[in-house]
Amino acid sequence: MKVVYLDNNATTRVADEVFEAMRPYLTERYGNPSSMHAFGGEVAHAVERARDHAAALLNCSPDEILFTSCGTESDNTAIHSTLEAYPDKRHVIATRVEHPAVRVTCRYFQSRGYRLTELPVDGKGRLNLDQIRNALSDDTAIVSVMHANNETGVIFPIDEIAQIVKAHGAILHCDAVQSVGKIPLDLSKTPIDLLAVSGHKLHAPKGVGILYVRRGTRLPAFIKGGHQEHGKRGGTENVPYIVGLGEACRLAAEHIEEETTRVRGLRDRLARGLLSSCLDASLNGDLDDLLPNTVNVSFEYVEGEAILLHLDAHGICASSGSACTSGSLEPSHVLRAMGVPFTRAHGSIRFSLSRYTTDEEVDAVLEVMPPIIERLRALSPFGRKPERAEA
Ligand code: PLP
């Protein structure tokens, strides 16, 4: 069965060009970039070329790019190292919809005595910027706000947020794991101090990431050890993966236009098709505020997991907005923060596209979804919507 892969916010396929760029560094070019000999020096050059590509995508300087093992490490480093750099400041601000890489880290510091403000979002997943202004205090060390939400695709106005935070003087960390390569971001214009990127969300392999560190930002090493990465992260560089990420950044810069036109067009067709063909379907977020590749739709009175299983039987990969924890299905913290009612949050499905998504794949989803929803609604324990049950 052909796989229809619409789960690109979970992970993406490695681009062929990325794999080819990596191959020599997994085989014949295995030198250590720290070595004094030319064999290692050639490898060090490859790492620097990758840094150049990453810097070009973000429009920053190569020496502001720090390679890490993943988005989670980048987020952890940003928060841990900032709090270490400013030991007198005991306040952290984040949003209620951050990825666990940020959320759990902030809550860890809360459990260690820090004050944590988690900013709410409205029903469309939007932040109220006045609430950021009001939350900032002289004690605030770091504000951590994602650029785009992984579950809903809702984009936060990071330029305005950066202006507010920097006018106040706190450090701004942005988890841009879902947005980089999908929507433009110009770090020469947006005064973000720290920013997390993950390779496997932009067609590089899993297990490599970036922490952008604006020049002059205090950042004691989180992973202590050797002098690698300008002494900011110990550990021998994961050269093949760094080279792959560099190539993925180069490709992302080339394809970003396509994301905002062709991919968005496919996503819009999918979203509108689902809303018009499936009963009691609603969008989580506003199409205009979303990443061009993401749509999260709730099918009321149906369980998301059941939808996923039926889609899976057709070879279609997507994600649901609830996670099975301790035997009970908990709606996601993101949908809960948006105030999505229980009966809708449970039946929410995220479709996330990529530059490899085709028209035929969108057609396949639009064909199978209405009968799946109809069948499940008839079977579901909360499928007996009162007015329909009587009809
Ligand atoms: N932040 C966001 C918004 C994400 O979506 C993810 C992964 O899903 C991460 C951070 C973590 O990235 P990684 O899987 O590279 O650790």
Q: How far apart are CA 315 and CA 9, in angstroms?
A: 18
Q: How far apart are CA 85 and CA 345, in angstroms?
A: 40
Class for the domain spanning 16-252: alpha beta
Best residue among 156, 173, 198, 332 to mutate for probing ligand 1, ranked by most atoms within 8 Å of CB:
198
CA contacts within 13 A on the Cβ side of 143: 30
- As a 3-state breakdown, the chain gives helix, strand, coil percent values, each rounded to 5, of 45, 20, 35
What are the domain boundaries of the chain? 4-10+256-390, 16-252
Residues classed as catalytic:
324
Instruction: State which ligand 1 atom lies nearest to the alpha carbon of 150.
Output: 5
- Does pTM surpass 0.85? yes
Confirm whether 4-10+256-390 and 16-252 share one CATH topology.
no
Tell me how far the alpha carbon of residue 209 lies from the centroid of ligand 1, in angstroms: 10
pLDDT digits (tens, 9 = 90+) for 200-232: 999 999 999 999 999 999 999 999 999 999 999
What is the per-residue pLDDT for 379? Answer: 84
Contact between residue 150 and residue 178 where contact means Cβ atoms under 8 Å apart:
yes
Tell me which H or E stretch contains 94: strand 91-95
Q: How far apart are CA 348 and CA 119, in angstroms?
A: 23
pLDDT band at 388 (very low <50, low <70, confident <90, very high): very low
pLDDT digits (tens, 9 = 90+) for 75-131: 999 999 999 999 999 999 999 999 999 999 999 999 999 999 999 999 999 999 999
- Residue whose CA is closest, atom 9 of ligand 1? 71
Q: How far apart are CA 252 and CA 153, in angstroms?
A: 18
Instruction: State which ligand 1 atom lies nearest to the alpha carbon of 148.
Output: 3
Instruction: State which ligand 1 atom lies nearest to the alpha carbon of 200.
Output: 15
Ligand 1, residues at Cβ distance < 6 Å: 70-72, 75, 99, 101, 146, 150, 175, 177-178, 198, 200, 209
As a CATH number, domain 4-10+256-390 is 3.90.1150.10
DSSP symbol at 295: E
Best residue among 97, 104, 105, 150 to mutate for probing ligand 1, ranked by most atoms within 8 Å of CB:
150
pLDDT digits (tens, 9 = 90+) for 143-160: 999 999 999 999 999 999
